[in-house]
Amino acid sequence: MRSIVKSSTPTNEAGTSPNWEELTQKAPEPTQLDNIKSQLDLVLLALEALAGIGSEAILKVAVELNLESMVADRVALWRLRQSNPLRKGQGGRKKLDVEEARSLVLISCHLASQHQALIRRAVALLEQMAEQNREPHTIALLGDYIDRFSNTYGDRMEDAENLSGAQLTNLALKLLIDLLFYSSPGGHRRLWLALLDRAKS
C-alpha cells in the first residue's frame, strides 16, 4: 500500500525511485537551466502536437510517478512551462529548479512511453517518405503533426516570427525522432544527458 507520508524525494512503492536517483548523478550548472527549460518545453510541445496530450494527462502522470509535489495542478504546470525563456509573455514566469527539471524529464519520458506505438509509426512513415523522396506533409499523420507543432510554436514562442516554415518543420521532425529514443527503456537517462549536453552550447 502506498504511504501517505510524502518524502522530499519522489518515491515509488519500493522506496526511492531508481529513475530519480539516476538523474541525480549528474547535475546541471545554474547557468545551464535556461537552455534546459527551453528544451523540455519543446519535448512536451512535440508530444502535445503528435498525441494530443494536454495538461490533464501530464498531471495524471505526475500523480502516478509521485511527483505531484513538483507539479501539483494546472497553474503550477503552466508556471513551470512559462519558465521557458523562449515563451511569449512574462506573467507567471518563475525560475525552474533542478528538481522540477528532473520531474519534467520523468513525466515527459513516461508520456512518450505511453504513446510509443504512435511515435514508432510516425518515425517509420518519416523513414518511408525519405526513401521515396516524398515530403512528410503528404502523409496525414505527419502533416497533421507538423501543422499542429508549427501553429502551437507560433502561438507560444517569441522567436517564431524569425523561423521559416521549413525550419519549424525540421525542428518538429527532429523532436519526433528524439521522442522515439525517449520513449524506450532508459529514455529518462537519454533525455537528461541530452539536455545537459545541449545546455553547454
Q: Which helix (H) or strand (E) holds 97?
A: none
Per-residue pLDDT of the chain (201 residues; tens, 9 = 90+): 333 223 334 444 334 466 777 777 777 776 778 788 889 999 999 999 999 999 999 999 999 999 998 898 999 898 888 888 888 875 555 667 888 899 999 999 999 999 999 999 999 999 999 999 999 999 999 999 999 999 999 999 988 989 999 999 999 999 999 999 999 999 999 999 998 888 776
Measured between alpha carbons, how far is 105 from 67 in angstroms, rounded to an integer?
A: 11
The reported pLDDT for the residue numbered 199 is 75
CA 105 to each of CA 61, 83, 88, 130, 134: distance values in angstroms, whole numbers, following the listed order? 12, 15, 22, 30, 33
User: Residue 29 contacts by C-beta under 8 Å, 6 or more apart in sequence?
Assistant: 199
Type of residue numbered 158: E
The reported pLDDT for the residue numbered 93 is 54
Measured between alpha carbons, how far is 56 from 171 in angstroms, rounded to an integer?
A: 25
pTM of the model: 0.85
